[in-house]
Amino acid sequence: MQILSDIAELRTTLRQLRSGSERATHRSVGFVPTMGALHAGHRSLVQAARQRCDIVVASIFVNPTQFAPHEDFSRYPRTLAEDCQMLEAEGVDVVFTPTAEAMYPPGASTFVEVEGVSDRLDGASRPGHFRGVATVVAKLFHIVQPGLAFFGQKDAAQVAVLRKMVRDLDFPLEIIVCPTVREPDGLAMSSRNRYLSAVERRQALTLSRALHAAEIQVTRGEHRASALLQTVRATLQEEPAIRVDYIAAVDPDTLLPIENVASGALLAVAAYVGTTRLIDNVLLAAATGNTVVPGKKKS
Ligand code: AMP
């Protein structure tokens, strides 16, 4: 596995890897962008890329432009040595670890703004966040030129923004979305979980519990978004240490609110546990007319 931080060197290496066999023109590149502090959620993306592509590139870059000044950029966990061990064990070919100076040379003033969708959910709570995300991902796409790029459902609003960017700007690649990987007790894995104390870690479970309660309600035939949101809110309120940022039932592509989830919906939540902001979501499938009783197999 090669670990490269220079853009030109990465381009040369990828050119060589792409043309390194008799299947030269067909060697596909799969790309997994990350901010490091890797966990099993990231691992699942790398494994999906390894399964589907000839060459797997992962990037580790804590992108300063997606953090507001008061956010956790400086204390964001950085665990490069362990991250590289994990990526090597998963068969990654190249890890790209650029510096902020390389990604944003002095005077850089070009940004990618995906209007509308970037102002919803996390974009509403974190103004400018998705401008930073779209800009860095667009740059990484230009540098790596993957055929497939892998992202987690965990960051559902990010998926909506990046899908729209790829469509609007005709990036020649496909975005593959992988399911959220959870701890055995249901907590969605996140690099930020390591900020949580033991007590907060228990409190944080309320997020997945609240979403699950709404999911069960849907299987019993409740399709009104207002009722589902009320269930999520009530469950979160059972844990006084939690401060809700947003609870939303939206269209997964536009992130606009919907009133009825019968044709599918994204149910998403963001909340603070102590000073740590956590997000989680579930994708509600379109109703089929069959009700599924939790715990029983669908016939
Ligand atoms: P991050 O390092 O937090 O920027 O995340 C890098 C990629 O990993 C993003 O596409 C995330 O959506 C994805 N990811 C983060 N946590 C999870 C998880 N628990 N399950 C699946 N994917 C995840």
Give the Å distance between the CA of 233 and the centre of ligand 1: 25
Residues 26, 99, single domain; the answer is: yes
Give pLDDT tens digits for 188-247: 999 999 999 999 999 999 999 999 999 999 999 999 999 999 999 999 999 999 999 999
Give the Å distance between the CA of 32 and the centre of ligand 1: 9
Ligand 1, CB within 6 Å, residue ranges: 34-35, 41-42, 44-45, 151-152, 154-155, 178, 180-181, 188-191
Q: Of 148, 178, 208, which closes a domain?
A: 178
| Predicted pLDDT at 139 | 98
Q: Is residue 20 part of a domain?
A: yes
What's the order of all strands across the beta sheet hosting 55-60?
Answer: 2-4, 94-96, 55-60, 29-34, 148-152, 174-178
In the chain, what is the greatest distance between 2 CA atoms, to the nearest angstrom? 62
Q: Is residue 244 part of a domain?
A: yes
The DSSP H or E segment spanning 34 is strand 29-34
Give pLDDT tens digits for 97-154: 999 999 999 999 999 999 999 999 999 999 999 999 999 999 999 999 999 999 999 9
- Which atom of ligand 1 is the closest one to the Cα of 33? 6
Residues 113, 139, single domain; the answer is: yes
Residues 212, 138, single domain; the answer is: no
Which amino acid, 284?
L
Active-site residue, from 26, 42, 142, 223: 42
Enter the tokens of residue 158: 């990010």
Residues 6+ apart with CB under 8 A from 170: none
State the Cα–Cα distance between residues 214 and 267, nearest whole angstrom.
Answer: 9
| Predicted pLDDT at 131 | 98
- Which atom of ligand 1 is the closest one to the Cα of 35? 2
Residues 9, 107, single domain; the answer is: yes
Give pLDDT tens digits for 53-78: 999 999 999 999 999 999 999 999 99
Give the Å distance between the CA of 58 and the centre of ligand 1: 12
Residues 159, 250, single domain; the answer is: no
Residue 292 pLDDT exceeds 60 = no
Which residues are bridge partners to 57 per DSSP?
31, 94
Query: Average pLDDT, stretch 4-19?
Result: 96
Residues 84, 162, single domain; the answer is: yes
CATH number of the domain enclosing 44: 3.40.50.620
Residues 133, 241, single domain; the answer is: no
pTM: 0.95
Backbone angles phi, psi at 55, to 5 degrees: -125, 130
Count up the domains in the chain and report the number. Answer: 2
| Predicted pLDDT at 23 | 54
Q: State which residues form the domain around 27.
A: 2-178
Angle at 108 between CA 105 and CA 110, to 5 degrees: 140
Q: Is residue 240 part of a domain?
A: yes
Q: Is residue 201 part of a domain?
A: yes
Burial of 283 (0-12, 13-18, 19+ CB in 10 A): middle
Q: Of 118, 147, 178, which closes a domain?
A: 178
Q: Is residue 134 part of a domain?
A: yes
> Do 38 and 83 meet the contact criterion of CB atoms below 8 Å apart?
yes
- Which atom of ligand 1 is the closest one to the Cα of 154? 12
pLDDT bracket for residue 25 (50, 70, 90): low
Residues 29, 174, single domain; the answer is: yes
Q: Is residue 183 part of a domain?
A: no
- Its sign, for the CA torsion 101, 102, 103, 105, is positive
State the Cα–Cα distance between residues 249 and 283, nearest whole angstrom.
Answer: 10
Q: Is residue 293 part of a domain?
A: no
Enter the tokens of residue 69: 């000044």
212 belongs to the catalytic site: no
Residues 109, 211, single domain; the answer is: no
Enter the tokens of residue 6: 């220079």
Residues 252, 212, single domain; the answer is: yes
Enter the tokens of residue 235: 């469950």
**Residue closest by Cα to atom 22 of ligand 1:** 152
Indicate the average pLDDT of the chain: 95
Give the Å distance between the CA of 35 and the centre of ligand 1: 9
CATH number of the domain enclosing 207: 3.30.1300.10
| Predicted pLDDT at 62 | 98
**Residue closest by Cα to atom 14 of ligand 1:** 152
Residue 293 pLDDT exceeds 50 = no
Give pLDDT tens digits for 148-173: 999 999 999 999 999 999 999 999 99
Residues 11, 119, single domain; the answer is: yes
| Predicted pLDDT at 291 | 47
| Predicted pLDDT at 287 | 81
Q: Is residue 295 part of a domain?
A: no
Residues 212, 153, single domain; the answer is: no
